[in-house]
Amino acid sequence: MSDLWTHWLVSRSVESAPPRCLILLSEEEKEEDVDNLRRVLRERQISCGIKRSSYERYEIRVLSMIREMRGYADEIGARVDWFIINDDDTFWLDVRAIRRMLSKYNPAKQYLPGMLFSRALFSAMESIWSECRELYESAYGGDEMLTSCAARAAGVDKREIMTEERGLHQFDVLGDTTGVLQGGLPVLSMHHFLGGGWAHLHGYSTPLTDMEQIQRLRDAAAFLGGNNMFQRYVFGDGKWLVVLGYSVTYFEEPLKPADLASMYTQEHTWYEDYRLAFADRRRIEERHDPAGRPAKQTFYIDSTDVLSANTAVFSFLQADSWDESLTQAERVRIQLFWDGDSPGPDVEQPPLSLPGFHSRQIR
């Protein structure tokens, strides 16, 4: 996981400092494993403090982060406006986008978007920490315990303490997540991005492992930035959909304006009987439909070749269908050239012939 942490815990320029970081481990962790963690963090230039917790129960350890993080901030002499608590399987798309989002709020007031605690709220929670431990000791889940404590500290109902930010996702999407990531949703973070094997960012039709898929998204996001990543563009009278940093899709039946009118209307690519918190539309089969309905052809991000600070080439790899197993050599690639250096004529990609599809041009 720490291979991904460099994306948000290592400074990208001399003008900005990286976020402060504290890793809280249980006392059961072997010393050799802790030493190995320190070594890996040094090699990757990730500056994180490491502490052990004496609390055996996971939920209490999570609650203890309130005291541990406040103490660590004092220890290193840092004035912290926002405290973020997350598991190691949380992916942050772009720290700059997080900072822009948080700039809407005054940290001297009590706010809780996701698991991001304002300075004022965190201080209030620390002042009643013992009370929270006693009251919520049997609560299930660290998030439940933290939310209950935050609500009590703020003097409001638990249902009122959260500030909704639609870009912060508990990414428990079962199966093929293509429809979600192509749907135009804002994405700031993804918790459970590996999903324990149940969430697949590139669907089932890719030769890449789940970790390789998130690494491809990381590389694209590092160049594009959070405000550009997953932005959608439609070409060819609705037959081509480009989702920046993620995919290019050709539809035999053009997308209709209604399909794209709302960012909360996704193609239902995940488990059929699993409902999410927004509307969806019928799944479109990859490459061919057993029922003879119009199909689609998706190409997923495979590499980002950065040519300059504002110019890159994105390579997208062809997906196969449910009844195929294409080799790497058999899969077609599409390259998208991002030119942010010098305005000029459109870069035209030669027509690309795909099995079962007509040739088209992308501008």
For the chain, 363 residues long, give each residue's pLDDT as a single digit of tens.
567 888 888 877 666 778 889 999 998 899 999 999 999 999 998 989 999 998 988 899 999 999 999 999 999 999 999 999 988 888 899 988 999 999 999 999 999 999 999 999 999 999 999 999 999 988 888 899 999 999 999 999 998 999 999 889 888 787 888 888 898 888 999 888 765 556 788 887 788 888 899 999 999 999 999 889 999 999 999 999 999 999 999 999 998 887 777 655 678 777 777 777 777 777 788 888 888 888 899 999 999 999 998 999 999 999 887 777 888 888 899 999 998 765 554 444 433 333 333 333 333
Q: Are 85 and 21 in contact, with CB atoms under 8 Å apart?
A: no
CA proximity to 168, closest of 108, 97, 274:
97
Neighbour tally for 262: CB within 10 Å = 12
CA distance linking residue 222 with residue 242, whole number of Å: 18
CA distance linking residue 353 with residue 332, whole number of Å: 9
Domain with CATH 3.90.550 in the chain: 2-161
- Tokens 């291979």 -> residue: 3
Beta strands in 102-246 (DSSP E): 116-118, 168-170, 175-176, 189-191, 199-200, 232-235, 240-243
> What is residue 363's predicted lDDT score, i.e. its pLDDT?
31
205: CB partners within 8 A, 6+ apart: 286, 298, 319, 320, 321, 322, 324
**In the numeric block, which tokens belong to residue 169?**
């996702």
For strands 168-170 and 189-191, give the pairing.
Answer: parallel
Phi–psi pair at 227, nearest 5 degrees: -75, -20
CA distance linking residue 12 with residue 342, whole number of Å: 24
68: CB partners within 8 A, 6+ apart: 22, 24, 51, 53
> What is residue 193's predicted lDDT score, i.e. its pLDDT?
74
> CA torsion angle for 280, 285, 290, 293 (degrees, to 10)?
70
> What is residue 15's predicted lDDT score, i.e. its pLDDT?
65
**In the numeric block, which tokens belong to residue 216?**
């491809």
**In the numeric block, which tokens belong to residue 325?**
């197993």
Per-residue burial over 10-22, b if 16 or more Cβ lie within 10 Å, else e, is eeeeeeeebbbbb
Sign for the pseudo-dihedral over CA of 18, 110, 65, 125: positive
Q: How distant is the alpha carbon of residue 235 from its chain centre?
A: 26
Residue 249 burial (10 A CB sphere; 0-12, 13-18, 19+): buried
Beta-bridge mates of residue 315: 303, 335
CA distance linking residue 284 with residue 35, whole number of Å: 49
CA proximity to 188, closest of 276, 115, 91, 285:
91
- Tokens 């660590």 -> residue: 72
Name the fold adopted by 2-161: Spore Coat Polysaccharide Biosynthesis Protein SpsA; Chain A (3.90.550)
DSSP per-residue letters across 263-308: TTEEE--B-TT---SSEEE----BS--TT----EEEEEEEEEEEEE
Task: Please report, for the chain, how many H helices and E strands are present, in that order.
Answer: 11, 19
**In the numeric block, which tokens belong to residue 287?**
């490459």
